[in-house]
């Protein structure tokens, strides 16, 4: 079965410090990978998605970046965090090849709580 892991689960970082959140998927190959952010009491905002190694699409211009160095690894980074970067970050995956031309189920990790102070 497929599993998704992301870490760290929680972190508190000062303004201006760097960020690295990591996500890995097991039990599948060539997944689509996604990073979402959830601000306190808010919905899920798509930040980045990737269809393959080195292929990153950005949805929201900001001081965050994403990388996919390996097929099942997705990393969210920042060189200098802002207070507004605080939130709950969720990594997710779906099967790359849609069956019958219809979207596939998307599965989420357990999330990473980021507090920028």
Partner 1 sequence: GENVEQHPSTLSVQEGDSAVIKCTYSDSASNYFPWYKQELGKGPQLIIDIRSNVGEKKDQRIAVTLNKTAKHFSLHITETQPEDSAVYFCAASVYSGTYKYIFGTGTRLKVLA
Q: Which residues bind partner 1 (CB under 8 A)?
A: 32, 34, 36, 42-46, 49, 51, 59, 90, 94, 96, 98, 101-111, 113
Q: Which is nearer to partner 1, 5 or 80 (CB)?
A: 5
Give the shortest CB-16-to-partner 1 separation in angstroms.
27
- Locate tokens 């000062």: which residue? 14
Query: Tokens for 86?
Result: 């605080």
Interior CA angle at 48 toward 65 and 67, to 5°?
Answer: 45
CB of 90 to partner 1, least distance (A): 6
With residues binned 3-state (H G I as helix, E B as strand, rest as coil), the percentages for the chain, rounded to 5, are 5, 60, 40
**Least distance between partner 1 and beta carbon 32 (Å):** 6
């Amino acid at each position: 079965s497929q599993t998704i892991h992301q870490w760290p689960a929680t972190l508190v970082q000062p303004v201006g410090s760097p960020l690295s959140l990591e996500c890995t998927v097991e039990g599948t190959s060539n997944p689509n990978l996604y990073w979402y952010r959830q601000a306190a009491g808010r919905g899920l905002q798509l930040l980045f998605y990737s269809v393959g190694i080195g292929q990153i699409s950005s949805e929201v211009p900001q001081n965050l970046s994403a990388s996919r160095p390996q097929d099942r690894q997705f990393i969210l980074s920042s060189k200098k965090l802002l207070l507004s970067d605080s939130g709950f970050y969720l990594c997710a995956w779906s099967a790359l090849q849609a069956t019958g031309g219809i979207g596939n189920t998307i599965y989420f990790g357990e999330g990473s709580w980021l507090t920028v102070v």
